[in-house]
Structure 1
Amino acid sequence: MFKLRNVTRRFGKKTAVDSVTLDIPQGQMVGVIGRSGAGKSTLLRMINRLQQPTSGSIHFAGVEVSGLRGQALRNWQRDCAMIFQQYNLVPRLDVLTNVLLGRLNHRSTVMSLLGLFTREERIHAIAALERLGIEQTALQMAGTLSGGQQQRVAIARALMQNPKMVLADEPIASLDPLNAKIVMDALRDINEREGITVITNLHTLDTARNYCERIVGMAAGRVVFDGKPSELTADAVKQIYGTDRDGAGIDETMTSTSINIPAAAAAKQSAGLQPLALAGL
């Protein structure tokens, strides 16, 4: 069980995350949604300990993650793999080497400095690339790949860590609908095949509904919704995203990754579901 207890993060007078308490069982796929500035990215960065909570505590398997230091902290960051919106690859290194960098926290400092990787590690890296359908790019410089390909390389690198949890911070925000589907399919496959907990921040409501068994909605740093996709009603969406000047909620097609938005809207109408009124996010 992964637990957050009254986790808060302040930046000066601004509270980015405000007293968040959650219990997440092993093997769940959780989508965190909310407007920009709602605290989603800060929450994930605290879980990975890239940022320190101002107050509260984070626990995993009986260990207080928020209190770890030194090698114990590095071990946690190895076990809790992070996938970023901007990929965080080394553009001038080839794809295979970028993937192998996921092994750094498993190796001695000397071997890491010398860039010495074993045959088994290289086989493992190629297998990760094959799993994501980009093994043909192994010897290309990472900077020459498309955004969708780079994100898949980042996922392969995360797999090399043999993580117990995967955190994905807006992993499809910069991708077209087709590549967004490929990336989300890969995250779901990791979740289902390995039973690894996946927590991902998302802007798109259809993606959260389609891929996540649990959705956490944040507004102004607080959790204002926590439930199943079927429970994410129009009223719940308004609570998460707010309304426009006229009090209308958002049109969900505005946050969709669907390749065919009109068809999706038509399907809703044929089912008797009226889209929410237009409003900007």
Structure 2
Amino acid sequence: MFHLKNVSRRFGSHLAVDTVNVEIPQGQMVGVIGRSGAGKSTLLRMINRLVDPTSGSIHFGDTEVSSLSGERLRNWQRDCAMIFQQFNLVPRLDVLTNVMLGRLNHRPTVLSILNIFGREERIMAIAALERLGIEQTALQMAGTLSGGQQQRVAIARALMQNPKMLLADEPIASLDPLNAKIVMDALRDINEREGITVITNLHTLDTARNYCERIIGMAVGQVVFDGPPSELTADAVRAIYGTGADGSQIDETMTSTSINIAAPSAPVVLASERLESANPKPLALAGL
């Protein structure tokens, strides 16, 4: 069980997150929705401890995450992988190396400094790329990929951490509908097959309804809705997004990515299944 207890975060006089209480069982896929500035990103950054709460506490099982420091904090940030809207890849490194960087907190410091990765880590990285359907990009510079490909590389890097929880901060905000669908399909596959808790910030109601078993709505730093998609009524949407300038109901199409498109997309397949029939060429190219 993951538990936020009375968590708040203040930046000067601005209260970005206001007394949030949330419990999330292991294995749920949770979408956090709300207007820009509602506190969604700050909430995820506190969970990962990129930002410390001003008050309250964060717990994962018997561990108080909000009090961790040093090596124990680094271990938590390894177990709680973060995927960012802007991908946070190293553009001048090849894709394979970017993915292997997800192993940094699993290996000796000296090897990390020297950027030395072993054969087993290379195989893991190729398997992660195969799972996301982009193994053919392994030796390309990350900066040459499209936005959708870069986001899939970022997910592969997160998988290399063997996380217990996966946080995604607006993972599809800068993607076209087809790539958005591929990325969301991948996150749902990870959640369902590995049982990893996935918490993702989303601007779009249709995406949250289609992919998340639980939706948390935030407004002005507070949780104003917490429940399944079936309970996200017009009144709940109004509480989360407010109304138009003329007091009219918010039209959900205003937040739509048109993610339910008919265009085919490559199915997300487990690495073990892909490896059985994979073309060995990418492995050979990677020096394996």
Q: TM-score, normalised by structure 2?
A: 0.90
Instruction: Describe how 1:1-281 pairs up with structure 2 within 5 A.
Output: 1-258=1-258
1:119-139 deviations in Å (ceiling 9; x for gaps): 111000000000000000000
Deviation above 2 Å: which 4+ runs of structure 1? none
Deviation at 1:198, TM superposition (A): 0.2
Aligned equivalents of 1:54, 1:245: Cα separation in 2: 33
State the secondary structure of the residue aligned to 2:89.
coil
Aligned letter for 1:139?
L
State the secondary structure of the residue aligned to 1:59.
strand
State the secondary structure of the residue aligned to 1:148.
helix
State the secondary structure of the residue aligned to 2:127.
helix
Aligned letter for 1:219?
A
Deviation at 1:103, TM superposition (A): 0.1
Alpha-carbon contact 2:17-2:222 (below 8 Å) kept = yes
Deviation at 1:259, TM superposition (A): 5.5
Deviation at 1:246, TM superposition (A): 1.9
State the secondary structure of the residue aligned to 1:7.
strand
Aligned equivalents of 1:94, 1:109: Cα separation in 2: 21
Aligned letter for 1:45?
R
Aligned equivalents of 2:88, 2:119: Cα separation in 1: 25
Aligned letter for 2:52?
Q
Aligned equivalents of 1:254, 1:207: Cα separation in 2: 13
Aligned letter for 1:57?
S
Aligned equivalents of 1:245, 1:119: Cα separation in 2: 59
Runs of 5+ unmatched residues, structure 2:
262-288
Indicate the residue corresponding to 1:268 in structure 2: none
Aligned equivalents of 1:40, 1:11: Cα separation in 2: 14
1:160-183 deviations in Å (ceiling 9; x for gaps): 000000000000000000000000
Aligned letter for 2:100?
L
Alpha-carbon contact 2:207-2:259 (below 8 Å) kept = no
Deviation at 1:61, TM superposition (A): 1.3
CA RMSD of aligned residues (A): 0.9
Deviation at 1:248, TM superposition (A): 1.1
Deviation at 1:245, TM superposition (A): 2.4
- C-alpha change, 1:251 and 1:67, in structure 2 (3 Å) is same
How many positions carry a matched residue from both structures?
261
State the secondary structure of the residue aligned to 2:185.
helix
- C-alpha change, 1:214 and 1:259, in structure 2 (3 Å) is closer
Runs of 5+ unmatched residues, structure 1:
262-281
Deviation at 1:260, TM superposition (A): 7.3
State the secondary structure of the residue aligned to 1:216.
strand
Aligned equivalents of 2:127, 2:161: Cα separation in 1: 14
Deviation at 1:253, TM superposition (A): 1.1
Q: What percent of counterpart residues are identical?
A: 85
Aligned letter for 1:159?
L
Indicate the residue corresponding to 1:276 in structure 2: none
